[in-house]
Amino acid sequence: MSTLTQHLLARIEAHGPMTVADYMGEALLHPTMGYYTTRDPLGAAGDFTTAPEISQMFGELIGLSLAQAWLDQGAPAPFTLAELGPGRGTLMADILRATRAVPGFHAAAQLHLVEASPTLRVKQRDTLGDQVTWHDSLDTLPDQPLYLIANEFFDALPIRQYQRGSEGWHERLIAMRDGALAFALGPELPQPHLTHRLADTEPDNIVETCPQATAIADQIGTRIRDAGGTALLIDYGDWRSQGDTLQALQDHAFIDPLTAPGASDLTAHVDFEALAQAAPCAHSRLTPQGVFLERLGITARAQTLAANLSGAALASHIAAHRRLTHPEEMGNLFKVLALFPEGGTPPAGCTT
């Protein structure tokens, strides 16, 4: 039994069952035993691989989409170029390389990263150098135009789960059973924020909410409304939450979410409808990642890169293109939602 499991069981014994959100918060961000605070989870030696680690093409095209949005809005200077949950800094490095030739973009850009993990901040400094200002939250970003990317950020924010009863909702909780962590249900209560979900659910259906995600979407949208800019939110999920999507990943394989808190990555599908409704600015249609990347020209870019490759390197490159875009891989599972000013146009790759 892990030390964090023992800590959680002691907490439950002392204070009663905890919400799924509290469990995720402890498992991922406990100061000394949390998953993100104690390790680099990325790559072959970690537990999962994100799109920027698969191919440079992903970050290059995102960079050009953001740069075009910046040009379309009159090339404001200075502006904040920000990333939420930037991993090792690979995505931002690719963005910066791809936009180097855009006149005035780098001179006007001020680089800001929102990162909770001390371990990953070290990796980001190794990748990006000292040109970065780090933040614990969006609260301290400068008040100026914001061009932001959040790739696989919202999926790791703590969710709450509710199971529909006959008239109200039971909150799904983490309790102790036979000395181990186990799911349980709270009493059936009215949940006013879920009244609209009574029309598309039945008893025993599970609905997930993420108050932290909608609060962050509100912050991003408010900044874009007030100062201009664009945000690209890329994650797996769909337009509306439905069902139990909490999952744990360890060594690139799925495991029981309650088995190894602190030693496995916990995520849940993103409810993009909730993000769009929370942001007080315009938003794009929800676009599959494969469609988004194809609109930006990933196939032409892949062909250009392939011209200088052969053998195993070429095979790996072809596989990366497929993994990012094919409907049976990341192409349909991952979606893109863009935020931009009212009356403006969505960034390249997205439509209204």
The two structure tokens encoding residue 344: 């403006």
How much is the pLDDT for 1?
56
pLDDT at 318: 96
219: in domain: yes
Cα angle value 90/132/344 (rounded, 5°)? 80
Residue 345 belongs to a domain: no
Rounded Cα distance between 254 and 21, Å, is 20
Q: For residues 274, 336, 224 and 134, what is the CA-based torsion angle, rounded to 10 degrees?
A: 100
Q: How far apart are CA 267 and CA 54, in angstroms?
A: 20
Residue 16: give the domain boundaries. 3-157+209-299+333-340
pLDDT at 38: 77
Q: What is the pLDDT of residue 29?
A: 85
321 within a domain of the structure (yes/no): no
For tokens 């874009």, the residue is: 224
Q: Give a yes or no: residue 193 inside a domain.
A: no
Please state the domain count of the chain: 1
Q: Is residue 314 part of a domain?
A: no
Q: What pLDDT shows up at residue 47?
A: 54
Residue pair 171/211 in contact (Cβ under 8 Å)? The answer is no
Residue 126 in domain? yes
d(CA 40, CA 46): 7
Is 162 contained in some domain?
A: no
Closest by Cα among 160, 242, 240, 161 to 201 = 242
Token pair of 107 as six digits: 């001179």
Answer for the pair 160, 274: CB distance below 8 angstroms, yes or no. Answer: no
What's the pLDDT score for residue 41?
62
Strands 270-271 and 229-238 come out as: parallel
One pLDDT digit (tens) per residue for the chain, 352 residues: 578 999 999 999 999 999 999 999 999 988 889 888 877 666 555 556 789 999 999 999 999 999 999 999 999 999 999 999 999 999 999 999 999 999 999 999 999 999 988 888 999 999 999 899 999 999 999 999 999 999 999 999 999 999 999 989 999 999 999 999 999 999 999 999 999 999 999 999 999 999 999 999 999 999 999 999 999 999 999 999 889 999 998 887 899 999 999 989 999 999 999 999 999 999 999 999 999 999 999 999 999 999 999 999 999 999 999 999 999 999 999 999 999 999 999 999 999 9
Q: Is residue 349 part of a domain?
A: no
pLDDT, residue 252, reads 79
CATH value at residue 223: 3.40.50.150
221 with 280: CB under 8 angstroms? yes
Residue tagged 């990796």 (tokens): 123
The 3 state secondary structure assigned to the chain is: CCHHHHHHHHHHHHHCCEEHHHHHHHHHHCCCCCHHHHCCCECCCCCECCHHHHCHHHHHHHHHHHHHHHHHCCCCCCEEEEEECCCCCHHHHHHHHHCCCCCCHHHHEEEEEECCCHHHHHHHHHHHCCCEEEECCHHHCCCCCEEEEEECCHHHCCCEEEEECCCCEEEEEEEEECCEEEEEEEEEECCHHHHHHHHCCCCCCEEEECHHHHHHHHHHHHHHHHHCEEEEEEEEEECCCCCCCCEEEECCEEECCCCCCCCCEEECCEEHHHHHHHCCCEECCCEEHHHHHHHCCHHHHHHHHHCCCCHHHHHHHHHHHHHHHCCCCHHHHEEEEEEECCCCCCCCCCCC
